[in-house]
Structure 1
Amino acid sequence: MNLSKVDTQKMSSTSLSRVGEHWLARWKSEPLLFWSIVILLSLGIIMVFSASMTTSIYAYHDALFFLKRHLFGVLLSLPFFLLGSLFPLQKLRQLSSRILLLNLLLLLMVFVPVIGREGGGSARWLSFGSLNFQPSEFAKFSVLLYLASALSTHQERIKDFWWGVLPSFLMIGTICLLILLEPDLGTASFIIAITLITLFIGGSRLLHLFVCAGALLPSGIFLILFSGKDYWMRRIEAFFNPWNDPQGKGFQIIQSLIALGSGGIFGKGLGESRQKFFFLPDRHTDFIFAIIGEELGFVGAVLVLVLFLIILWKGWKIATSSRDNFQAVLGMGITASIALQAFINIGGVTGTIPVTGITLPLVSYGNSSLIITMFQMGMLFNIAYENKLRNDRL
């Protein structure tokens, strides 16, 4: 009986060791990508603490309130990173339609009392005790997975508008409609943008994509002007002329620009931000890049940009090296999604584009976004490892 227990323990230890070695072999093949992720995660932990400290003390009487929650999110994201690295890609492809339908169900549950939780005037979260989850973040991945599977399974249809492009848009349009009802125009617009990009990557005709974009544009304008959600219109007005209402519509972007401009070349120093003292709203979420620019200066801001460019470069290289069409499209879609989120967030913070509410991947506070992003990063290593295995067999 004792020998049996010892043997079982040894087998378990050996299995865990093999899993560990199997995973290490995956990230060792792309060390530059791995360390870029590690640096962004580490920077995010430091900057979330610095940016959120004032709010934590004022609202919760605990300077570490948001830091502890963010650290929990980082730790929770690590198993998802591991899962993304190890999960069989072919199995994931087979589950793509079911995962999209699950996401559709989760988005519907947001509107169910008790389970759905409202915050900031939007019903975007599912609440399970002390844990909250944002299904719209999950949608960013489930849509990519569905498109990659559909495009690789029905390659002969992708050039056809009625049988290739339109069905995908109708399915994803349903997802976006539910997200708009929350309401969350920024995420819905992002999903439409990444859908167009992925369809183009998969081989759709540009003319067909322009037709879809052209058909959606009037709907977007109508929603902004007549939906009754004034903050959408305020963001557009603030983008064109924030100084027209510096204490109202333009307050957030002006404070963001002050933070970036006051940082200079090397910044005021870690923890020395002035804008975090209740001048700049959403400083540890949507506008964390402004605090990075203020405390770490131009050098810190450029470092963040370089790290995202490395992710874009390495992710694209991994995807284009794949001989499997599904993995190639999925890898390109994931890479484009992360890069586009970073561009949209930084663009909003710098006043280059209107503010959308899209967070900075791997850096901003927000556990749902972090978990999904880390799972997607794990999948890039998974694809890279599959590429290596194929090349070794040749």
Structure 2
Amino acid sequence: MSRSWQKKPTGFQFPSLMGYDKPLLFVLIGLLLYGLVAVFNSSIVTAFRDFGNQYHFLRDQAIFLSIGLVLMFSISLIDYHIWYKLAIPLLFITLILLLSVFIPGVGIHVLGAKRWLNIGFFTLQPTEFSKLVLVIYLSAWFTYKERGRFLPFLLLLGLVIGLVMLQPDLGTTVIISSLAVVLYFVSGIPVIHILVLIPIGIVVVGLLAISAPYRFARITSFLNPNQDPLGASYHVRQILIALGSGGWFGVGLGKSRQKYAYLPEANTDSIFAIIAEETGFLGAGLLILAMAFVAYRIFYLARQAPDRFGQLLACGIGSWFAIQTLINLGAMVVLLPLTGVPLPLISYGGSNLISLLIGFGILLNIGRQSKHK
């Protein structure tokens, strides 16, 4: 593999001119900036109500975005092969972080969920970073084909999923399981393994879904939104009201009615419903097309990657982005039950945004090296 890309450039060069995939980078930046607008529009009411400052969530998201962009551009300048060497240490650190949420005084418990760590200036959600770390580890592991890895793969996946479900977090469980199976499949395993994995996954997710009353209620409300309209079906019905109110062209930017405490999680999991209400089918459709283009471009980079590790790494990050996007949008248009999964690049949240931008930094480096292979 050629190392010409490592030659020191003469003079100052802005990062976007140093061999990056410009179509991906420009659309990505556009989505991130629009995400700031969407977070502000969807959170202005609750921010003023809860904090007395309508810019509270916008300010936080701008900070998260700034940190994420610095990390993304910094990591994009680092040879992605370093992640092969760091795969095992990162996995152990992630497992420790997933366990740390259960330590009193360290983990933060909210409404029965134990998903966050208090690190002083920042609230960290380890499950978000576990997606990226699992992609890195599996990509490194699957770079070289070996026999007899089916059982170890199941044991590792079971360990990570078990720690995530103890928190509990079904949405992240589905994402992790799906992207792990995708990576296992593209690594060139026998088809019989996939035929075994799929029914196992369906049974496990099904059992987890009905094991808790609130998760079972989400399924029943998905199947029948008119059942218990002020209870289990309330969230779904408010989503449908937002989508219906938007029509073709929307009610106007900043003029959403559902954000006035009618729609739960308006600036996080349900932000797409607010976008559809304000910009209509046209605006929501353009957003979906932009997200689809990002996913397409990631998988394009995966095909162009210089080596097998780069291909698997890009494919894993692309699967993470695509699966999470599909799960969120599927729930917002009532094609899937609600799972509490944020919309990538758009929804409010630090851990989700920063971990994704770290992943995009790795992708940009793969793209740079692809042009010089």
CA drift of 1:41 comes to 0.6
> What secondary structure does 2:151 align onto?
helix
Give the corresponding residue for 2:192. 207
d(CA) in 1 for partners of 2:175 and 2:122?
A: 25
- Give 1:99-178 correspondences, 5 Å limit: 99-153=90-144, 155-157=145-147, 163-178=148-163
**Bigger Rg over Cα:** 1
Deviations 1:117-164 (A, max 9, x none): 1123201001111310100000110111111101103x133xxxxx12
d(CA) in 2 for partners of 1:79 and 1:296?
A: 31
For these two proteins, the number of residue pairs brought into alignment is 366
> What secondary structure does 2:323 align onto?
helix
Maintained 8 Å contact 2:40/2:58:
yes
Structure 2 counterpart of 1:365, from 335, 348, 353: 348
Give the corresponding residue for 2:3. none
> What secondary structure does 2:76 align onto?
helix
Deviations 1:213-238 (A, max 9, x none): 32343333333333xx3211111111
CA drift of 1:18 comes to 6.9
d(CA) in 1 for partners of 2:51 and 2:20?
A: 44
d(CA) in 2 for partners of 1:239 and 1:169?
A: 30
d(CA) in 1 for partners of 2:343 and 2:208?
A: 25
Q: Which amino acid aligns with 2:276?
A: G
d(CA) in 1 for partners of 2:11 and 2:67?
A: 19
d(CA) in 2 for partners of 1:18 and 1:125?
A: 45
Structure 1 counterpart of 2:286, from 283, 303, 307: 303
d(CA) in 1 for partners of 2:320 and 2:176?
A: 9
Q: Which amino acid aligns with 2:27?
A: S
Counterpart check, 1:72 vs 2:63: yes
Change (3 A) 1:20 1:66: farther
Structure 2 counterpart of 1:271, from 254, 258, 262: 254
- What TM-score do the two structures reach when normalised by structure 2? 0.94
Give the corresponding residue for 2:205. 220
> What secondary structure does 1:87 align onto?
coil
d(CA) in 2 for partners of 1:289 and 1:309?
A: 15
Q: Which amino acid aligns with 2:281?
A: F
d(CA) in 1 for partners of 2:197 and 2:279?
A: 42
CA drift of 1:78 comes to 1.1
Counterpart check, 1:24 vs 2:16: yes
CA drift of 1:87 comes to 2.1
Give the corresponding residue for 1:382. 365
CA drift of 1:98 comes to 1.2
- What TM-score do the two structures reach when normalised by structure 1? 0.89
> What secondary structure does 2:342 align onto?
coil
> What secondary structure does 2:240 align onto?
helix
Give the corresponding residue for 1:313. 296
Deviations 1:310-330 (A, max 9, x none): 111111111101230000011
- Give 1:191-270 correspondences, 5 Å limit: 191-226=176-211, 229-270=212-253
d(CA) in 1 for partners of 2:323 and 2:229?
A: 29
Give the corresponding residue for 1:184. 169
Deviations 1:181-236 (A, max 9, x none): 0011111121011111111111122321221232343333333333xx32111111
Change (3 A) 1:18 1:97: farther
Maintained 8 Å contact 1:83/1:375:
no
d(CA) in 1 for partners of 2:306 and 2:348?
A: 36
d(CA) in 2 for partners of 1:20 and 1:61?
A: 44
> What secondary structure does 1:95 align onto?
helix
> What secondary structure does 2:207 align onto?
helix
Structure 1 counterpart of 2:328, from 345, 348, 353: 345
CA drift of 1:22 comes to 7.3
Structure (1/2) with the larger helix percentage: 1
Change (3 A) 1:385 1:284: same
Task: Quote the RMSD (CA, aligned, Å).
Answer: 1.7
Change (3 A) 1:33 1:252: same
> What secondary structure does 2:149 align onto?
helix
> What secondary structure does 1:245 align onto?
coil
- Give 1:14-93 correspondences, 5 Å limit: 21=13, 23-26=15-18, 29-93=20-84
